[in-house]
Amino acid sequence: MFLCKAKDYLRKINSIPKKLEFIKNSIFVFLININISIWSLNLIDKRSDQDKNFLQMRIFNLFIKLIKCFSKMCQNFAEKFQS
């Protein structure tokens, strides 16, 4: 299921023009990481309470890092096209 979603994302992303290759690759990595995080959340139900809390915090921190990285990437992309 995960690989099917990744292939669908890749197909959609591949329609972006070649000029935007950097942003295309970054979006793909971002979407893959989000899918991995969601998949990890689905595994939490099978763990003990202590493991659940640990995994939830790790995934939450991953989301924060991804959002910061994605916003910085968008800012760099905007600056690149303004100059």
Q: How confident is the model at residue 44 (pLDDT cuts 50, 70, 90)?
A: low
The pLDDT of residue 19 is 57
φ and ψ of 37, to 5 deg: -65, -45
For helices 49-82 and 21-43, the axis angle rounded to 10 degrees is: 170
Higher pLDDT, 61 or 4: 61
Domain contains 57: yes
Please give the residue range of the domain that contains residue 62.
Answer: 26-77
Buried b (16+ CB within 10 A) or exposed e, 34-49: bbeeeeeeeeeeeeee
Domain contains 35: yes
Domain contains 5: no
Q: What is the total count of domains within the chain?
A: 1
The pLDDT of residue 6 is 59
Reported as half-sphere exposure (CB side, CA atoms, 13 A), residue 70 has a value of 16
Q: Is the pTM of this model over 0.75?
A: no
